[in-house]
Structure 1
Amino acid sequence: MKFNFLTTNLTACTMKKIMVTGSIIMGLSGAHFVQSQTVAGKDYSSRSHVDKTFDMIGVNAFGQRFPAESFTYEDEITGKKVIALTTSRHHNSKIYQTHPQWTPDGKHIVFRSDRSGKGLAYAISMENHEIIQIASGEDGSSFHLGWKENHAYHFRNDSLIRLNLEALLEDSNAGQVANKSSYEKVIGILDQELHPNGMALDHDEESLYFSTRVIDGQSSIYEVDLATGKMTAVLTVPFRIGHLQANPYKAGEMMFCWETGGDAPQRIWFVSIDNNGQVTNRPLYDESDETWVTHEVFLDQDHIGFNVMGHLDRLQEGDNGIYSLNIRNNDLTFHGQQDWGGYWHTAGTRNLKWIVGDTFNGDLYLIKYGNPENTTLLTTGHRLTSKSPFSKEAHSHHSVSPDGKWLLFNSSLLTDSDIMLMPLLDE
């Protein structure tokens, strides 16, 4: 575009008015242009939010808002209503299934997206599906929401940060987001040799645990006192720790897995810390050589759910499918299996009435707890080309809302990766 500048009566710092061909009026203060978006005599400034519909600008701005992009449809097989919360060109995914997805008040879901140029955390309103960016810069996407307090914990470089999420969301709704630091508190500073790769918030929200790789294939778990920032080593194991998660219903308990990227010799491990600080670490669900366990989650205070894979011929010779385990007395309950490789992930309601499982082709099923004959297909086709767990399409990693009303999951039905929401039970 050819610019014709009228430079009469300019000072060194302020150009009060610039006339641009095409009738676009711009102001200059110091070295910054501010476009009023007046074209051919009409001011379009009030519609400046429209260009964020697909985030064409890619601005990485803390607290910024994006208009709702949700799309509601009926599953063509089941007829059930499904809400695609994200539909943009970007890669969107829910927080991993071991961690809380909803803020404690149930008003927002926190998810991950690259809509601002890199994977960051965002909150989406359950009421109107508007999206708010809650992380920026070097924050990353590994956020742990509070169980009771509307906070979010995350690491930035060597610091453990607590974000006052409630205040940020309120200010964003009011259109008056303050400086980022005003919502943050540095809880503690990590030693340089510690590189956290997992995080778990204790039920009482007095301690936070993180796992870290050490040396010679070992991993450790550390406890952070959230009042003082003091960090204490809890235990060390001779393998890689993955998917660290706290018991959401009881303090001093957590679960983690022996992470191999595939089949582990013994997948699930359970840690308890008594009132005297005594640490106990024991395996859960003793595995055989022909057992492949994956995707363990807490169902309630005393029960976990997990999947025993059946996608290989040799694995079908033994027990496989979705199971739950009473971690107090080791009672095991079977919840069924599907054809074509079987179930993959599991979730359930905290009242132990319902289990949800998915298959490799992206079908999700509702199972009556302990009664696999009572199984209902919920929604289909969320991994359209997949028949195995090793394709690039989205992994469901589904979660049930704390009130048992909603099912949240990842999907590749509309784009490469979206997050979707549907009622768990019919009205």
Structure 2
Amino acid sequence: MSWEKNSKSEGEIWHVISTEFKRLGWLHIMIWVGYSLVFFYGPNLIFDTETAILMTLRTLAVNALIFYINVLVLLPLLVGRSKFKAYAVAILILLGSVSLLWEVTDPVGQQDWEKLRRSQPEVLHFRQGENPGGEQLSPRPPQPGRPGPEVDEKPPKPPWDLFGRHTMFSIFSSLGILFLSTMFWLMVDARRKENERLSLTNENLSTEMKFLKSQMNPHFLFNALNNIYSLAQRQSNKTALLVLKLSSMLRFIVYETDNGKIPLQNEVDYIRNFVEFQKIKLEEEPRLEINLEDVRPGVKIEPMLLFPFVENAFKHSNIDDTVNGWIQMKLEYDGQTIRFSCANSKPPRDISKDKVGGIGIDNVKKRLSYLYRDCHHIEIKDEADRFEVLLEINLS
């Protein structure tokens, strides 16, 4: 089971990294080309053009090898699995291999590096035997007691010192590339984890939504059928109309809430039908102020974002009390932002008529934070005698 989990995680890491390379491939190419041009400038001042090109290509190949081995192999397979000791050993092996690779692929050669080291600063320009002033280099005249010409020789250094200098240069260069590649991988891995978190949140919200719908449907259907039955016994003319409304509401719950965004008008119609069924149970006309007229065709939102606040208001407002109980709701749309407010009275003692079902404000807040993360604002005012929700959703 652990192996399957690791394999799945590894596959996800590779998928994210490959996606990043596909999305940013041109950027990688531009960065490496720019890096090569900058690096080429230094060797081109000292060596001939062919040697400078070979040194640049060697440096590009070795550094790219370090970068992508670290990003595609070592970090996902070792650090990604918390094998830090193995990663440290792998890095030491990689640095040793790279140092050897630097020596083996050196286009200049140890003898030329030794001559370069022992030369005077003014003759460090090796391009076709010319110095920076353009004059032909010539040996210095012989000094008394020493045969032959001399090129300002310095005491030769032992071979291990020269090798150590090259090794140190390659190690520092490799460490810089390792640091950059590690930062790149950490950024990609953080993005992968964030995507996983959002995906998990969405799955949890979807599961909660389905569970709450399975709770709500039988409960609401039970109440609605009882209300219709009582009207049918009184031979009310509203019976047939309410059967149609109930059919519309069930169609909305069963089918439309699973299809992503829906027309705002559909949710408003559901709210109106819900209010009509609530009014049937009341003997007197309740104190309701409903303004849901500002709905334009074509405006779409995620389903069940407004209705839970209406449902909550009827649960806790004690609307049966036509003297002290009241509910107000208003919907506005200015072309970019939906503004919905729902307020209700609060009796001295908390009243919740329906103990089963309902979607719940907390669930809606979770869905809003996922579906409209940076595009919504919700404010809840819970006072002694009043409860109000103000919701804004930016659709632009």
Normalising by structure 2, report the TM-score.
0.27
Q: Counting helix residues as a fraction of each chain, which structure ranks higher? A: 2
Instruction: Using CA pairs under 8 Å that are at least 6 residues apart, name the structure with larger relative contact order, 1 or 2.
Output: 2
User: Which one has a bigger Cα radius of gyration?
Assistant: 2
